[in-house]
Amino acid sequence: MTESSMDLICLGEPMVEFAQVKRGEETLYLPGFGGDTSNCAVAAARQGARVGYVTALGADSFGRDFLDLWAREGIDTRGVSTDAAAPTGIYFITYRNGEHVFSYRRNGSAASRMTPDSLPQDDLRQARVLHVSGISQAISDTACDAVFAAIAAVRAAGGLVSYDTNLRLNLWPLSRARAIIHAALAESDIALPGLDDARQLTGLTDPHRIVEFYLGLGPRVVVLTMGRLGTLVATPERQEVVPAHAVEQVDATAAGDTFDGAFLARYIAGDDPFTAARYANVAAALSTLGHGAVAPMPHAETVRKAIKEMK
């Protein structure tokens, strides 16, 4: 990568997705792509951002599928390594009572074996924004350390850090999650918590108190996604709830990741956080109109058309 060649670098664990689909009497599992920061990278790229990804993949067909996906999306993969001794992670989506249920096969994945020494330090120092998440740190101790090292590299070079809490208590206990996530947020510029996560992590219930708590840790922008209640955007000077965009939802898989990618793409492009959140709310809503994580993510022209039709 050349100097300032990437608007956004995402770091974390990509996972191959198998989504359950009923066709008559048959139950099929359709392959797709997932992993929160990879989803964010694709969403941002579809909004026109220049995006790079940092991870490790298994030397398997799933890893090659991801490289093909990122190539199609125009995502730079020079920060992606291959680990011949570990697999690419996978997960399954099933549906119960109208809700999607995730089952993971990720123990010992290639991404979980990332270390600080494996990071592309030069590329990180040239990124305008680094995006990571709680999942990026929960998958292993070495990956947790790698995230902190990536944050330090980006900040030392004057870049910004974006952090989505993405709390997964099947990966680590709440006490450790709270300590690690809040330590990372204290080194971040943009906090992207979800309301359910934030209530568990902070012990607070009121959204305004939650964003004040996170502003107090150090981020200059806090964007609290609240589902149908909209998005509470907060800076030290201003707080505003940006209304949700109503659609007939089919599958909410990766809606939050789509929001992250769309928000960051627009913020990097120069939108203030309130305007970026309005755009991202529409993008996230449109991503729920189809099944799976990546396939239904909208491109910029689709989002802009939907926004124009709202006026």
Contacts of 185 (CB under 8 A, 6+ apart): 163, 165, 191, 214, 217, 218, 219
Nearest alpha carbon to residue 76 among 16, 133, 2: 2
- pLDDT at residue 132, as a whole number: 98
The residue ranges of the chain whose pLDDT is under 50 are 1-4
Q: Tell me, rounded to whole angstroms, the distance of Cα 66 from its chain centroid.
A: 16
Please give the C-alpha separations between residue 190 and each of 187, 193, 214, in angstroms, as whole numbers. Answer: 10, 10, 10
Residue 261: CB atoms within 10 Å: 32
Residue 276, amino acid: A
Two tokens, residue 76: 């730079």
Q: Which amino acid is at 295?
A: A
The structure tokens listed for 106 are 């990720």
Interhelix angle 300-310/273-286, rounded to 10 degrees, is 100
Please report the pLDDT score of residue 2 as a whole number.
Answer: 42
Tens digits of residue pLDDT in 285-297: 999 888 778 889 9
Output the pTM of the full model.
0.94
CA distance 189 to 257: 18
- Mind listing the pLDDT tens digit for each residue in 144-168? 999 999 999 999 999 999 999 999 9
**Is the C-alpha dihedral spanning 31, 110, 50, 134 positive or negative?**
positive
* Residues in CB range of 200: below 8 A, 6 or more apart: 167, 169, 174
According to the model, what pLDDT value does residue 102 have? 83
